[in-house]
Amino acid sequence: MRFRLRCLLLLTACWLVSTAACAVDGASGSLPRVMSTNLCADLLLVSVAAPEQIVSLSRDSRDPAISPIAGLAAAYPSNEGGVEDLLYRQPDIALVYLGWSGGRFRGLLQGQNIEILPVPYPTDWDDALATARKVAAKIGRAEEGAAVADAAARRMRELGRDLPALRSLYLRPGGGSAGTDTYVDDVLHRLGLRNVAAEAGRAGWGVFPLEEIVLHPPDVFLLGYFDQQQPLSASAYARHPLLQRLLARTPRVRLPSRIWGCGGLELVGAAAAIATQVRALDIGPAP
């Protein structure tokens, strides 16, 4: 199972890299110089940009524990995501997270001809596709970005064919889950899986009560971030004896955390990991 996940992570990283590499052929004229200042923006940028227009990626992009593009990122200068980095690199466009303020130094950017482009956190798959197209157009890559988004959309549709409609519960070590109005719920729906948290009437992100899991166990657990070492204080839920007994007798799908946390185009890789493992379980939904 671990070998399979490593392969899926590698394939997803290759998909992210290849989308950028393939887009080079369509590059022409003068493209704006772009840098990204956080990991989610990094993943989006390498998917739609021409490699030569990438000025810098965030420091987190080089961390193999959290980044699926660590190898690719090593080819670019890194940044800490601050105003000082923008002033030093002088990009034409800087991708920042939504809500970025730049603190007390933001005034220094006035008159520097650096456009700040906030990247929203996607709420669902359609949102992720729309954001990719929008950012691609903004950096002079509208046609290439649309092609990448279209390919991702087709792949997502293919992955959802003929999967059993299992009652699936997404769970993190701290008990966190995802109900309606989250990209997790949207991906599960597109794969034909039933989201236990959504069916229980929960919306957004939040802790799923352990007693509900004990009384109504899912057909399959979707475990996110269980592959990462957690502080004891943050993993007490996962270590509870009742949950441990349930996990021991219930089929589990381990989600590749490095391609699950941002909700962007890389969700295709997460969906592929889920679909592959669900098919390998060879079980049907409970009657």
- The pair of structure tokens assigned to 247 is 């996990």
Q: Does the structure show a pLDDT above 60 at 18?
A: no
In this chain, the answer to whether the domains covering 2-156 and 163-281 adopt an identical fold is yes
Domain boundaries, the chain: 2-156, 163-281
Let me know if domain 163-281 sits in CATH 2.40.50.140.
no
Q: pLDDT at position 74, please?
A: 95
Q: Does the structure show a pLDDT above 60 at 28?
A: no
Q: Compute the distance between CA of residue 140 and CA of residue 135 in angstroms, rounded to an integer.
A: 9
Q: Does the structure show a pLDDT above 90 at 196?
A: yes
| pTM (predicted TM-score) | 0.84
Q: What is the residue whose two structure tokens read 């441990």?
A: 244
pLDDT interval class at 103 (50, 70, 90): low
pLDDT tens sequence across 139-173:
999 999 999 999 999 999 999 888 999 999 999 99
Bridge partners, residue 35, by sequence: 56, 94
pLDDT interval class at 226 (50, 70, 90): confident
85's CB contacts (< 8 A; 6+ apart) are: 35, 37, 56, 79
Q: How far is CA 248 from CA 36, 166, 245, in A?
A: 42, 18, 5
pLDDT tens sequence across 260-286:
889 999 999 999 999 999 999 977 666
Pick the CATH number of 2-156 from 3.40.50.1980, 3.20.20.70, 3.40.50.300, 3.40.50.2000: 3.40.50.1980
